[in-house]
């Protein structure tokens, strides 16, 4: 089941993030950041446990970012990530965003959802604020993908 995250989900969200951030797949997030941005998150619940997460971050008047997508290893390849991304895209469209983008190591996953690979330089500089926290900054090896919502 997919739903918006609640306060009781934060520690489970953080555990998933820790697992994937230690491998360099996603950026680490502190508890303070998670509470501050809780409304950005969707969770996938199975057996009363958070096994998947994805966040929608509004960047500008017409642009949103899909971020912090993670699904437990044993639950992967079952469509959970795609469902989480679609929930975020639906919300982005409802909020009035015209485009959604993601920075990813798995562009093929996003391409199956209608995203196109683009050069990172086409994204506004404002989106790079979080990149300062990344151990790979400034030598980013993620791929930028964008999807029009119109």
Identify which of 78, 84, 68 has the alpha carbon closest to the alpha carbon of residue 2: 84
pTM score of the predicted model: 0.89
Least confident of 20-34, 37-51, 73-87, 131-145: 131-145
Identify which of 44, 95, 100 has the alpha carbon closest to the alpha carbon of residue 74: 44
Identify which of 6, 7, 9, 41 has the alpha carbon closest to the alpha carbon of residue 26: 41
Q: Is 59 exposed, middle or buried (0-12, 13-18, 19+ CB in 10 A)?
A: middle
How large a percentage of the chain has pLDDT more than 90?
72
How large a percentage of the chain has pLDDT more than 70?
89
Render pLDDT for 94-138 as a digit per residue (tens, 0 to 9). Answer: 999 999 999 999 999 999 999 999 988 788 755 555 655 555 555
Q: How far is the C-alpha of 50 from the C-alpha of 73, rounded, in Å?
A: 12
> Could you tell me the domains of the chain?
2-148 (3.40.630.30)
């Amino acid at each position: 089941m997919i739903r918006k995250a609640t306060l009781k989900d934060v520690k489970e969200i953080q555990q998933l993030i820790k697992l994937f951030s230690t491998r360099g797949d996603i950026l680490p997030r502190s508890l303070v950041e998670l509470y501050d941005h809780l409304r950005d998150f969707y969770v996938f619940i199975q057996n009363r446990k958070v096994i998947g997460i994805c966040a929608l971050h509004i960047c500008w008047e017409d642009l949103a970012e899909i971020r912090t997508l993670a699904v437990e290893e044993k639950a992967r390849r079952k469509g959970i990530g795609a469902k989480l991304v679609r929930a975020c895209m639906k919300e982005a469209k409802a909020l009035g965003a015209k485009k959604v983008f993601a920075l990813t190591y798995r562009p093929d996953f996003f391409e199956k959802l209608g995203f196109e690979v683009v050069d990172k330089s086409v994204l506004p500089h404002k989106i790079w604020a979080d990149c300062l926290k990344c151990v790979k900054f400034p030598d980013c090896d993620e791929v930028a993908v964008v999807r029009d919502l119109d």
